[in-house]
Amino acid sequence: MGKGLKFGLSLALSAGILALVFHAADSSAAEVARALAAMSLGAWTAYAAAQLLQGWLRAVRYRLLLAGAGVAPLPGRGRMFGVTLARNMFVDMLPARAGELAYWALLNRGEGVRSADCVSSMTISILFDFFALAAVLAAAVAAPVAEAAGRMAFLWGAGAVLAAVAAGGVLLFRGPGWAAALAARLPARARRWRGMVWLEAFMEKLADSFGQVRGGGVLWKAAALSVGIRVVKYGGLAAAFYGMARVLRPALAELPVWQTLIGLIGGEGGAALPVPTFLSLGSYEAAGAGAMRLAGVSGADAALVLLGTHVASQMVDYSLGGLGLLGLLWGRRGGAEKPRLRLGKTGLWIGLGVVLALAFIGGALGWRAQQKAGAQTAPGSGAVQQMGAAEQAAMAAVWGERRGFLVWSSTMHGQHDLVQMDWPGGTISRLTTDPHVDRSPKISPDGTRVAFARSRLPWVSFRNNDEWDVWLLDLASGRERRLAERGAQPDWSADGRAVVFQRHGREVVRIDVDTGAETILLGARERRLWTTPALDPRGGRLAVTVRGGARSTSLFALPGGAETRVAGGCQLAFAPDGEWLVLVESGGRLKNRICRVDRAGRNLETLLDMPGEWSHEYFPRVSNDGALLAFGASRGDHEHDVADYEIFLWRIGDPPERAARVSFHSGNDHWPDVWVQPPAAPR
């Protein structure tokens, strides 16, 4: 089979397995990519530090085994560290541990170590890696925190690995001698073949190398180092797994260590199998997820998190391995002896500079990604204050003769629930009590129901586009029902018969409230995300905040999706008559202002820029009669998850200072909507 055909087969096999993973987990490669960008800097740092430490321990073990074999002079510690980092990279790249041969090649060609000693130190290290794995599994069995099911799984695993270690030990330390003795008994004619002559000589050298190592008193030290290597390795992988799980599938971030360890060991075993997958992608995830499923974990979710962990680990391993390889090559020089690779002081300083630069860039990117990912934990409840007489008078002035109510999301009851303020009276009541996050309430045109998004997990950042469902709340009865899965940021159609929402940030979907029939209004487009969708009350158009590159507010014709870019803002909503669109745009006193644009998508103008300290405006929403604007504002803090936003109500056209403050709560309040009771029909 040609190399091109093998490469194509490996790509196809990996793509097929990953496609099954994405389908089963209801996810995509884009979600994994976003999770990699959003994974915490602490998780990246912990894994990178573990890789550096285990690389150094491996280098110490290799030098110990080479010394036991009588190699002199030994490669320097820095040189051996570079060889080890490069070896780690190639092991990740090639299936069935074929990357181990890179250690042989680098040590033999670059450091002048004879092949027999390279093979003996390499194979003994592999054997001790399995011995250390058995030790780790045995420790997990004895751990008091391990559950019964986990102990049984580890017990079987430890037994199988110990059996393999015993068989491997016999083959390694006795096999070369047996092979050399067997070759010596072959007929003289067969022994004269060039290949047989080389093989017999090599087996004799290998047997001699194994014998020296066995008699050199270094095996127990190498075994102890191997256990340390395994502990550090799985500690780093666990940090990466939990860091990825917190972003992709937070429920898996709560798994006990034993279940996670089963998946990581299973994934490593799958990657070591002779399966022709590209960079072990697919074989690692399938084996690890299968092991975790046997331990009671969702196989689809486990495979998705393991994929993210695998990619993250390879990014770090390839970076460190590339630096190690460059360090070896920088110092290459010829001489009277066999050419060797040297890492001089210049190479050390250059390598250190590259590492520091990468650390700085990675830290900056990680910090930025974490900011974009939103808060990792729920905010506090805050303290509720009473509305004073002056504030009540301001509210009365804004409402005038109107009657109605506001609904918004607030932590005043300890979590993000929906609350309602009625007017006149100003009484605030709690609408929802679910332990998950309730956000983005939208009141139906007739004022009887509220569509909102509820998180699928106890805590989900508002920046997460995936872990939400769309719910309906009947205000008269208090009954709730889930309208659509995997949807967020709902909005009503003008007739109140349908709700539009975004799904995964990739689609805008319209769902019939009575039948549940879904229609995709705006499908996926490469490198673009759709948020805060709003239907034109007059029909035929959809307004969407576009993310994924340059942020913009755009109008899309329906059907067909022809785009008209309106502005660079976000969080948009139509006026009830469809004459104009309200949105948040940059600028203003505290970097934000609320603007409006005409129906054609032109003539952007400032609608409201608050004076005073509450001038970081967000979440605009126009009342059903087109007269009032509800919005949130902070003193400058931006993060929607946790900042102290307060709810305000403003009569459109009044001076900005007449906006009335609705909420008086030091916690988090946002995403308001307002409904005005229509005037009674004349008799």
**Helix 257-271 to helix 148-184 angle, to the nearest 10 degrees?**
30
Token digits of residue 575: 């006026």
Q: Round the CA-based radius of gyration of the chain to a whole number and report it.
A: 32
Tell me which of 665 and 291 has the higher pLDDT.
Answer: 665
Report whether 577 contacts 614 (CB < 8 A). no
Q: Is the pLDDT at 400 greater than 80, yes or no?
A: yes
The predicted model gives 81-96 an average pLDDT of: 76
Helix (H, G, I), strand (E, B) or coil at 443: strand
Secondary structure of 597-621 in the HEC alphabet? EECCCCCCEEEECCCCCCCEEEEEE
pLDDT band at 521; cut points 50, 70, 90: very high
Cβ partners under 8 Å of residue 39, min gap 6? 240, 243, 244, 246, 247, 308, 312, 366, 369
Token digits of residue 663: 């909420």
Longest dimension (CA), the chain: 121
H helical segments located in 331-406: 345-373, 389-399
pLDDT at 337: 43
Q: Is the pLDDT at 391 greater than 50, yes or no?
A: yes
Strand 563-567 and strand 552-557: the pairing is antiparallel
The predicted model gives 54-64 an average pLDDT of: 87
Nearest CA to 114 out of 72, 61, 56 is that of 72
Token digits of residue 223: 């075994």
pLDDT at 210: 57
Count of C-beta atoms within a 10 Å radius of residue 254: 11
Measured distance CA(465)–CA(448) in Å, rounded = 27
**Partners of 472 in the β-ladder:** 451, 481
Report whether 472 contacts 496 (CB < 8 A). no
pLDDT tens string 245-261: 887 777 788 788 877 88
Measured distance CA(128)–CA(85) in Å, rounded = 18
Q: Is the pLDDT at 140 greater than 60, yes or no?
A: no
Q: Which amino acid is at 2?
A: G
Nearest CA to 607 out of 649, 656, 648 is that of 656
pLDDT at 335: 39
Strand 498-503 and strand 507-512: the pairing is antiparallel
pLDDT at 145: 38
Secondary structure of 612-664 in the HEC alphabet? CCCCEEEEEEECCCCCEEEEEEECCCCCCCCCCCEEEEEECCCCHHHCEECCC
Count of C-beta atoms within a 10 Å radius of residue 346: 10
Helix (H, G, I), strand (E, B) or coil at 420: strand
Measured distance CA(105)–CA(87) in Å, rounded = 10
Q: What domains can be seen in the chain, in order of their start residue?
A: 12-331+343-369 (no CATH), 403-674 (2.120.10.30)
**Helix 115-142 to helix 148-184 angle, to the nearest 10 degrees?**
160
pLDDT tens string 329-377: 765 544 334 444 444 445 445 445 555 555 555 555 455 555 555 676 7
Tell me which of 91 and 244 has the higher pLDDT.
Answer: 244
Cβ partners under 8 Å of residue 49, min gap 6? 236
pLDDT at 683: 62
